[in-house]
Amino acid sequence: MDSLFEQFEGDDLCRLAECLKAIEAAGKRVDKYTHAGVNQSSGNVWVMPEDWPGCVYCSIGFDVAWGYSCPECGNEHDFETFEEMSEYADRYASSCKACKPKFVAGWNMPGYLPDADPVEFDTSDDAMDFIRDEMRKDAEENAPEFEVGALLARIDTFAADAKGEFGVGFLAYHYFVMMEA
């Protein structure tokens, strides 16, 4: 095994110290299974124990961040805290927003903010099922009785576009399904 001082020298050693300070500030520890290195392309110094979803790194400008690299597509995502990085990794279950997008569904009266927060789904199909159910409730509760049958039949024809998104004015509301940005 190489000596720590053979792998890290000069400013790289200072960047390693910044990473260790960030680890301590986050209430985390390093152990004998912790890996560290210098990215030869960027010059970033990184530290990553085996049980973390990502690493902490210090750039050549001495900016410290937490980084998550998606195992599915390789996209890298930066976070200000260990907790943000961990929550992101947990949310996308070992993938990322780029390769496993989330969809949100909701409704609002045109010109107004939504009365309720949009609901999040893993697939566009699940989001569309939810929004169709909400539209059915709206039709059954608020449409004139003689229009309910036609409105319910119309709801079954609504489909998301190729990106999995949808939007339509229906009765007094705008209903939508969007890929989360």
Domain extents for the chain? 4-91, 103-179
For residue 27 the two structure tokens come to 């209430």
Task: Print the SS3 string covering the chain.
Answer: CCCHHHHCCCHHHHHHHHHHHHHHHCCCCCCCCCEEEECCCCCCEEEECCCCCCEEEECCCCCEEEEEECCCCCCEEEECCHHHHHHHHHHCCCCCCCCCCCEEEEEECCCCCCCCCCEEECCHHHHHHHHHHHHHHHHHHHCCHHHHHHHHHHHCCCCCCCCCCEEEEECCEEEEEEECC
pLDDT, average across residues 159-175:
94
Whole-angstrom distance, CA of residue 69 vs CA of residue 46: 13
* Statement: the pTM of the whole predicted model exceeds 0.75: no
Conformational region of residue 32, where left means phi above 0, alpha means psi within -120 to 50, and beta covers everything else: alpha
Q: How do residues 103-153 score in pLDDT, each as one tens digit?
A: 999 999 998 888 788 999 989 999 999 999 999 999 999 999 999 999 999
Whole-angstrom distance, CA of residue 108 vs CA of residue 176: 9
Q: How do residues 22-70 score in pLDDT, each as one tens digit?
A: 999 999 999 999 999 999 888 999 999 999 999 999 999 999 999 998 8
For residue 132 the two structure tokens come to 């169709």
**Residue that has been written with the tokens 């990553």 in this structure:** 48
Over pLDDT 90: what percentage of the chain? 69
